């Protein structure tokens, strides 16, 4: 694919909102009119145009096959765009409705869903895990007895890093992997030791099923996807495979990106990495995370889930070069990052050669989500690049006199 083609194809997916209300369109009498978004401040327009140029140039330089980006400010989608193609060798462009796998961004859904049910009194964070999962055990039975529900979502079970993630990827059942937990030598005490998990994180699934009588997939659909209007979101292989508008994953081989197939990995553990979504779906998710869907996600749930619980400093750096290692924490399914006066709520996801990033500054009311159909080098820079530019725009906005 030539560079010219790479530049032109993304324009087909552009929904960049810069005062688009100035153009008149004839609308049939039967059509439902959408509210006209308020015009953007010129500083905001400049900020978004600058980020758009950065992202587009980086896509071309890295040769990344495709991506989709959305920015939400307060309750408004101020930028939404598809870049590139769904699959190398196929001219179909990525647009706002193209479905991706989002990997560990799925953990944020589990954290919010659990927070909603805890807020409703279905269970308590300090309840013991064995109360809901009687067969759960560890190499230290006493620690298994002490383990509380909150330890699952805060990644503080005491298990070693990524325990049994290999078994998830090999397709073993939840029951089998649960039986293997006692074989892992513990790395620390519950609540005091951070260690990122996939298998242990998904203990939240039987907990929520036990307290509601519904499967995790049912809860995710009924409590989040449907009421938020995330119409293309799902958490199973068949849904994305049968979608007429889905992106394929890519791997880098012999100097070029090659389209690959969608696998079944992690659909057996949806809380860890099984969610599929379009960037339009993620726009609605960002609105909820910023507190603008309180009839679905109450603000007290957001405050609870976004509260930093444990430092992650011994782990690999997060947003290298932008966030200090000792300024990173984990809440309940979310990373909480301190950057000067700002607090960012963040997570990344990687599964089946899809990569995803989401971050928001709750105080400023701004958030971004980026979905890639390849492990692009841009994934490591798209969030820091966004918030560096936002800091400049914010200073300009704050300097404007207010009457």
Name the percent of the chain lying above pLDDT 90.
Answer: 87
Mean pLDDT of 198-220: 98
Please report which confidence band the pLDDT of residue 277 belongs to, taking 50, 70 and 90 as the band edges.
very high
What is the model's pLDDT at position 286?
98
Residue-level pLDDT at 403: 58
The answer to whether residue 59 scores a pLDDT higher than 70 is: yes
Is the model's pLDDT at 111 over the cut of 50? Answer: yes
DSSP 353-401: TEEEEEEEETTTTEEEEEEESS--GGGGTHHHHHHHHHHHHHHHHHHS-
Given a cut of 90, is residue 241 above it in pLDDT?
yes
> Which pLDDT belongs to residue 316?
80
For the chain, which domains are there? 1-15+42-403 (3.40.710.10)
Helix axes 106-119, 279-289, angle to 10 degrees: 40
3-state secondary structure of 311: strand
Question: Is a pLDDT exceeding 60 seen at residue 30?
Answer: no
Does residue 22 register a pLDDT over 50?
no
Calculate mean pLDDT across residues 204-232: 98
Q: Minimal CA–CA distance to 204: which of 70, 112, 68?
A: 112
CB 103 within 8 A of CB 350: yes
Residue 222 has pLDDT above 60, yes or no: yes
- The whole-number pLDDT of residue 402 equals 73
Whether 11 shows a pLDDT value over 80: the answer reads no
Q: Flag whether pLDDT at 305 surpasses 80.
A: yes
Q: Decide if pLDDT at 82 tops 80.
A: yes
Q: What is the mean pLDDT of residues 343-367?
A: 98
pLDDT reading at 2 higher than 50: no
pLDDT for position 315:
85
Which residues lie below 8 Å from residue 251, measured CB to CB, with a gap of 6+? 257, 258, 260, 353, 374
Residue 173, pLDDT above cutoff 80:
yes
Mean pLDDT along residues 311-317: 86
Share above pLDDT 70 across residues of the chain, in percent, rounded to a whole number: 91
Average pLDDT, the chain: 91
Q: Would you tell me how many other CB atoms lie within 10 Å of the CB of residue 85?
A: 26
379 and 347 Cβ atoms separated by less than 8 Å: no
Rounded distance, CA 172 to CA 187, Å? 24
If pLDDT is split at 50, 70 and 90, which confidence band does 12 have? very low
> Can you tell me the mean pLDDT for 21-26?
31
Q: Is the pLDDT at 24 greater than 60, yes or no?
A: no
Please give the residue that has the higher pLDDT: either 317 or 362. 362
Q: Distances from the Cα of 103 to the Cαs of 297, 335, 347, 373, 379, in angstroms?
A: 22, 15, 10, 11, 13
Helices (H), 184-223: 204-212, 216-220
Task: Please say if the pLDDT value at position 396 is more than 50.
Answer: yes
* pLDDT over 50 at 274, yes or no: yes
- 192 has pLDDT over 90: yes
Distance separating alpha carbons of residues 345 and 360, to the nearest angstrom: 5
């Amino acid at each position: 694919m030539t560079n010219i083609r790479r530049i032109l194809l993304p324009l087909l997916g552009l929904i960049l909102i810069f005062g688009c209300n100035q153009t008149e369109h004839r609308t049939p009498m039967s059509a439902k009119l959408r509210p006209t978004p308020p015009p953007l401040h010129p500083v905001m327009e400049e900020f978004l145009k600058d980020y758009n140029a950065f992202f587009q140039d980086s896509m071309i330089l890295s040769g990344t096959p495709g991506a989709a980006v959305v920015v939400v400010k307060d309750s408004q989608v101020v930028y939404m765009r598809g870049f590139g193609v769904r699959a190398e060798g196929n001219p179909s462009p990525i647009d706002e409705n193209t479905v991706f796998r989002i990997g560990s961004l799925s953990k944020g859904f589990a954290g919010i869903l659990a927070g909603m049910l805890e807020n409703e009194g279905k269970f308590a964070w300090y309840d013991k895990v064995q109360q809901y999962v009687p067969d759960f055990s560890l190499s230290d039975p006493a620690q298994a007895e002490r383990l509380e529900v909150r330890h699952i979502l805060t990644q503080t079970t005491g298990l070693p890093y990524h325990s049994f993630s290999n078994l998830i990827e090999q397709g073993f059942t939840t029951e089998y992997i649960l039986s293997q937990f006692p074989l892992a030598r513990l790395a620390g005490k519950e609540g005091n030791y951070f260690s990122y998990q996939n298998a242990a994180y998904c203990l939240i699934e039987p907990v929520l099923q036990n307290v509601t009588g519904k499967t995790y997939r049912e809860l995710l659909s009924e409590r989040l996807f449907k009421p938020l209007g995330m119409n293309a979101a799902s958490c199973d292989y068949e849904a994305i495979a049968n979608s007429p508008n889905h992106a394929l994953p890519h791997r880098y081989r012999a100097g070029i990106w090659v389209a690959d197939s969608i696998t079944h990995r992690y659909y057996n553990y949806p809380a860890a990495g099984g969610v599929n979504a379009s960037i339009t779906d993620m726009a609605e998710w960002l609105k909820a995370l910023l507190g603008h869907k309180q009839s679905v996600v109450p603000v007290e749930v957001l405050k609870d889930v976004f509260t930093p619980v444990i430092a992650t400093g011994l782990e690999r750096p997060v947003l290298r070069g932008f966030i200090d290692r000792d300024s990173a924490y984990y809440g309940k399914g979310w990373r909480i990052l301190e950057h000067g006066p700002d607090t960012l709520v963040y997570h990344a996801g990687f599964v089946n050669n899809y990569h995803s990033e989401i971050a928001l500054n709750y105080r400023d009311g701004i958030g971004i989500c980026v979905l890639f159909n390849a492990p692009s080098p841009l994934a490591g820079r798209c969030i820091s690049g966004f918030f560096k530019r936002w800091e400049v725009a914010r200073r300009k906005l704050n300097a404007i006199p207010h009457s």
